Structure 1
């Protein structure tokens, strides 16, 4: 680079010397300066014209300018930039081919659309699942090919990712799970997979649980009735009475399991509904629940403290809300030592979420168990759970109730220090008394 500038400065120096000599000899200094400048400018214009022509014809390396000085340096920069661009294009082309190969290999239908909803990329699975053919439909608007209002709402959704379940556009017997995420610059990536088999199995499982629960309830009621009659029989040995008492407790526990299974089945069938429920006096419901517990299950064994915001109401189904609070408080009583303190809170967070939490000083839960506590029939300690009459379904019921309300359950626990179970409700479900009155 320095050599090129040295050559160029040398040219200017030589022309300046010639101009000075011509001026000294002839005495025409203006003409000397004009002629030397004209020679340099003319040479520069010739180089510029040659450079423009070379670039216009594609700036191919074999036709590069044979020059020196600053113009040789410019040509070298252009050749180097071209070489870098070719390498970049080659690399981008390779990445594009790999991306297309990856998309083509995906088992899910994958479609990329631009800001005008025109299809830019698709794969073979899209033809089998969505009926979109790569050769025929590239460049077509997706809403012209799939005229389903749900899909239009999905594309227009501001959430990323946005999800929904919809009927297959090519087979009404199939159900698709469709996801839409922002992709690239003003593009969206739409994926769809067939979940018909999963839904069928889920429906079969729910039907089995519901039918089994209904079928078992009647004979179990009869068995429980006979056991109660036998327990009231005066002429019975203590050993037989003890065995009948054990059988009666197990029958009651089985009855509770069936009731919880039916409750779960109804909650799953109901699903999420933003508008469900009516305004409930949550502070009053909690106070009533705590009073009942102090009279029955926690009578003389636990201290229950409350921290309740009396201004907060919630939109929900009262029986479901009571079941949620009862399950959380019941677990705290069952799994914390006698004489310990249980704290119940009903408050609003700064982010707008309203929460109901129960904190105990029990034995706590190990970290590896926390994520599985809401699974059906999952117990950390099976033997103890059976001794205290747990069904293993309480937290699963709580989780489903919250999901139907758009909320979630948070569990914080530490071995030997107790646990806090917090049910969070979204902002749109709670309201303050003052706002309600206004």
Structure 2
């Protein structure tokens, strides 16, 4: 680089020297200056023309102009930049090929769309599941190919990792689970997988549970009736009466299990619905439930302290709310020692969500079991659970009720220090007094007719 500039400065010095020498010899200073500098400028313009023509023809290395000085340095810079650009293009091409190979190898249908929802990339699985051809449909708007409203809401949603299940646009017997995430610059990556088999298994399981429960209900009712008649007989020996009483308790427990299984099946079939329910006076419902527990299950054994916000109502299904609260309070009574205190709260959380909380000071739950509490028939202590009764389905029912309402169950527990179960409802289901005053019908809990679920 320094050598090139040295050559160029040497040229300028030679031109200046010639001009001075010619001026001293001839005395025509104007001509002495114009002639050598005109030759230098003409030579520079020639080099510029050669360089421009070379660049216009593609700046190929084989056609690079033969020059020296600063022009040789410029040509070298251009050749070097072009070589790096070529290497960069090769790397990008290899990366693009690898990315396309990865997309093509994915078993899930994969589609990349831009900010205008135009398809930029897709794979073979997309043709099988969505009918999107990677040759024919590139550049097409995905809205024109998949017209399901749930899918349109998915790609418009700002939330990440959300999923919806829709029918395949080319086969209504297939159910697809669609996922959409932001990708690249103003792009979205859409994936779809066939979940038809899982849906079929779920439907089969629901149908089996419903049918088995209905079929078992009639003979179980007959058995329970005969056991009740036998218990009322006065001439039965005491040791046989104890066996009959035990059998009657087991029949009642089986009846509760059937009722809970049927309710779970209905909750799963119902699913999430943002607009479901009516406005329920939750404070009155909780007060009624706590009063019933004080008279029956917790009578003389537990102290229940209640703190409810009467100005806070919730939009939900009354029977489901009662089942939710009853299950949480029942667990607190079952798994806390006699003479202990149970706290029941209905309030608005700091973030604005309505929350129903039941706190006990029982034996607590180990951290490794907390995540499994809502599984069907899961019990931390099997032997104790059998002694105190219960179906093992209560918390599973609570979870499904909350999921259908858009809420969630939070459990905090520590061994030896008790547990806290909090049912959080979404903020949009909270109804305050001002909304109630605007002709909103509030459903009061009935004094009679509540059916115990578990």
Q: What is aligned with 1:302?
A: 302
Q: What is aligned with 2:447?
A: none
Q: What is aligned with 2:420?
A: 420
Distance 1:25 1:305 in 2: 119
Secondary structure of 1:416's counterpart equals: coil
- For residues 246 and 28 of structure 1, do their structure 2 counterparts lie closer, same or farther at Cα, with a shift above 3 Å needed? farther
1:205 is aligned to 2:221: no
Q: Which runs of 5+ in 1 are unaligned?
A: none
1:354 is aligned to 2:354: yes
Residue range with higher mean Cα deviation, 226-235 or 138-147: 138-147
CA drift at 1:17: 5.0
Deviations 1:177-213 (A, max 9, x none): 2233333333333322222222121111111111111
Alignment of 1:273-312 (within 5 A): 273-312=273-312
Q: What is aligned with 2:446?
A: none
1:234 is aligned to 2:234: yes
Secondary structure of 2:416's counterpart equals: coil
Distance 1:298 1:17 in 2: 115
Distance 2:69 2:80 in 1: 17
Alignment of 1:120-269 (within 5 A): 120-269=120-269
Q: What is aligned with 1:387?
A: 387
Secondary structure of 1:345's counterpart equals: strand
CA drift at 1:380: 1.4
- For residues 434 and 19 of structure 1, do their structure 2 counterparts lie closer, same or farther at Cα, with a shift above 3 Å needed? same
Deviations 1:114-144 (A, max 9, x none): 3444333222222222223333333334344
Secondary structure of 1:135's counterpart equals: coil
Alignment of 1:27-42 (within 5 A): 37-42=37-42
CA drift at 1:4: 3.7
- For residues 4 and 245 of structure 1, do their structure 2 counterparts lie closer, same or farther at Cα, with a shift above 3 Å needed? farther
RMSD: 2.6
CA drift at 1:33: 5.6
CA drift at 1:291: 2.3
Q: What is aligned with 2:101?
A: 101
Matched length: 438
CA drift at 1:408: 1.3
Distance 1:345 1:295 in 2: 19
Q: Which runs of 5+ in 2 are unaligned?
A: 439-454
Q: What is aligned with 2:315?
A: 315
Distance 1:44 1:421 in 2: 86
Deviations 1:283-324 (A, max 9, x none): 221222222222222223333333333321100011100111
Distance 1:37 1:364 in 2: 98
CA drift at 1:78: 2.1
Q: What is aligned with 1:78?
A: 78
1:65 is aligned to 2:65: yes
- For residues 59 and 401 of structure 1, do their structure 2 counterparts lie closer, same or farther at Cα, with a shift above 3 Å needed? same
Deviations 1:11-68 (A, max 9, x none): 4455455555556666666666655654554443333322222221111222223333
TM-score (norm 1): 0.90
Contact 1:276–1:317 (CA under 8 A) maintained in structure 2: yes
Q: What is aligned with 2:451?
A: none
1:431 is aligned to 2:431: yes
Distance 2:150 2:188 in 1: 16
